[in-house]
Amino acid sequence: MTRSAIAFFLMLVSATTAFGAEPFARASIHPAKRIVPGQQVLVDIEIFVPEFFTSPPQFPSLELENAVVSLSKERSENIMETVNDVRFTGIRKSLAVVPETAGAFTLPPFRVTFGQSVNGTATRSSVEVPSVSFNVENAGVSETPAVMFAARNVTLQQSFDRDSKSLRVGDALVRTITVTAENTQAMMIPPLNVGTVPDLKHYEKTPLIDDNVSLGRQSASRRTEVHVYTANREGSYELPAIKFVWFDVSSATSRSSDLAPVQITVSAADTSAGGIAPQLSKPAPEPFIQRQKAALVVVSCLVLAGIVWLFSLSIPKLRHTLNVLRKKHQSTYQYRLKLLRRRISSGTDEEIYSGLYEWSDFLGYPNLSAWAKDGSDRLRTEVGNLSQSLFGTPAMQFDRKALLANIEIHHHEKSRPSALPPLNPFASG
């Protein structure tokens, strides 16, 4: 019983301690043997909460006299720490401070807001970050300015888009120079002094800056400058050497990274006939011409749509007219005679008999025998043989050629007798 009570008491104390724990913050400076003007100083900010974060810490914009303060672009780091038997979750983020002069610097306290879980509920909270101080000493190099660019492993590299000794008048030579450095930010890398060359036009593009450039296992910052040179006359030119002075924070000494002079040779422009004539751009049309063209396109589309609509309305009527014309053509004497000849030439006996029957009906005869009776003897004979081949025993053979030669003897229709009595039976015949 006593052991159970003691265990319950310890659990109650632990829970009370956890519930009573509050967020806190710490600030510290990276250990450095010596800080000089222009050197980047990293201030590590650690924010702790007793449970966990529901939203990341939000840092305010900070200002420090004679120094540039910015939030480091490195990723935040998650940390854990136990304080008074309470396990805290933390986030570490760094501030980059670059002093411009020697002296004592103090980063004042500031508040950081964040979201945390309190008993399972997301709560908006804030904590005050304590102040930190550091001293900055002069570099101690008399031939260099008081404010130097301080970093580690600074390198200069350059490249050209073409051979600098094979240019012609009017050609452009593009020179790309990169400055890469560690333990600094790209925006802190100063511009290069490339100098000027008489009779050589120089144009500098907007520099590009990039942080967290991967260099093996290390990361660095980089500034890229692009310079364009052109010459209007032939001759030899020299781009001056570049001397980039910087302070090495590792050895606490002044160093320089240099680029050697570059020789440029420009020859006369090629004026041979084989050159390609430049393509002159056509002048842009006036705005009102553009509007006229647009209106013409719209009107043309409307007219075309109207024509299509009218044509769609006339399709049924056109189809009906075509059907009437086709039926009228199919009922003509010549058309029917053509069909009959084709059937006699290549049709079966049944098809020929049916065709002759339709032909006699078309000419006005009551049956096939009446039509054959008005024809020649050979016609009557062949019609009789055809009938005998279909319906008689024994079957007879008929002559197709003879039948074809005699079917057109009667080409005027006979009127059918009317089934109605005459309107005036007493009229003279």
pLDDT digits (tens, 9 = 90+) for 177-214: 999 998 888 888 999 999 888 888 999 999 999 988 88
Structural domains of the chain in order of their starting residue, each with its CATH number: 20-136 (2.60.40), 150-267 (2.60.40), 333-406 (no CATH)
Kindly compute the dihedral angle of the four CA atoms of residues 31, 34, 35, 40, in this order, to the nearest 10 degrees.
-50
The encoded tokens of residue 33 equal 């043997």
Q: What is the secondary structure of 130-164 as a DSSP string?
A: PPEEEEE-----TTS-SS--EEEEEEEEEEESS-T
The encoded tokens of residue 406 equal 């005699």
Inter-residue contact 370 to 414 (CB < 8 Å):
no
- Largest alpha-carbon pair distance within the chain? 152
Q: At what angle do helices 333-346 and 349-362 cross, to 10 degrees?
A: 160
Q: In what order do the strands lie in the sheet with 110-118?
A: 53-58, 110-118, 121-129
Q: Which residues of the chain have pLDDT under 50?
A: 1, 5-19, 143, 273, 411-416, 427-429
- Res 134: pLDDT: 93
The values of phi and psi at residue 122, to 5°, are -70, 125
Inter-residue contact 99 to 41 (CB < 8 Å):
yes
What own/partner pairs with CB < 8 Å and gap ≥ 24 does 350-355 have? 350/390, 352/386, 352/400, 352/403, 353/386, 353/387, 353/390
Specify burial of residue 251 (Cβ count, 10 A radius: 0-12, 13-18, 19+): exposed
Indicate whether this model's pTM tops 0.85.
no
Inter-residue contact 32 to 41 (CB < 8 Å):
yes
